[in-house]
Chains A and B, each alone.
Chain A
Amino acid sequence: MSLRVGSPVAGRVVALSAVPDPVFSQAMVGPGVAVDPLRSKADVVSPLDGTVVTLHPHAFVVAGTDGAAVLVHLGIDTVKRKGEGFELHVVKGEEVRAGQRIVTWDPAEVEAAGFAPICPVIALDASAEVLGGLALDTDVAANDALFAWSR
Chain B
Amino acid sequence: MADEKAKKILEALGGADNIVEIEPCITRLRCELEDGSVVNEKALKALGAHGVMRSGNVVQVVVGPEADTIASDIEDLL
Tally chain B residues at the interface, Cβ within 8 Å: 14
> Which residues on the A side are within 8 Å of B68 (C-beta)?
54
Given known A28-B62, A29-B65, A56-B25, contact A79–B30 (CB-CB < 8 A): yes
Flag if B64 contacts A59 (CB, 8 Å): no
Interface residue tally of chain A, by bracket? 10 to 19
Main SS class of interface, B = strand
In the complex, what's the smallest C-beta–C-beta distance from A58 to chain B, in angstroms?
8
Chain B minimum-CB-distance residue to A24: B27
What 1/0 mask marks residues of chain A from 1 to 40 whose CB sits below 8 Å from any chain B CB? 0000000000000000000001100101100000000000
Interface residue B26 (Cβ < 8 Å from any Cβ of A): yes
Given known A23-B51, A28-B50, contact A79–B25 (CB-CB < 8 A): yes
Interface residue B47 (Cβ < 8 Å from any Cβ of A): no
Given known A23-B62, A124-B64, A124-B65, contact A61–B50 (CB-CB < 8 A): no
The interface centre, meaning the residue of A26, A29, A53, A124 with most chain B CB atoms within 10 A of its CB, is A29
Residues of B within 8 A of A (CB): 23, 25-28, 30, 50-51, 53, 60, 62, 64-65, 68
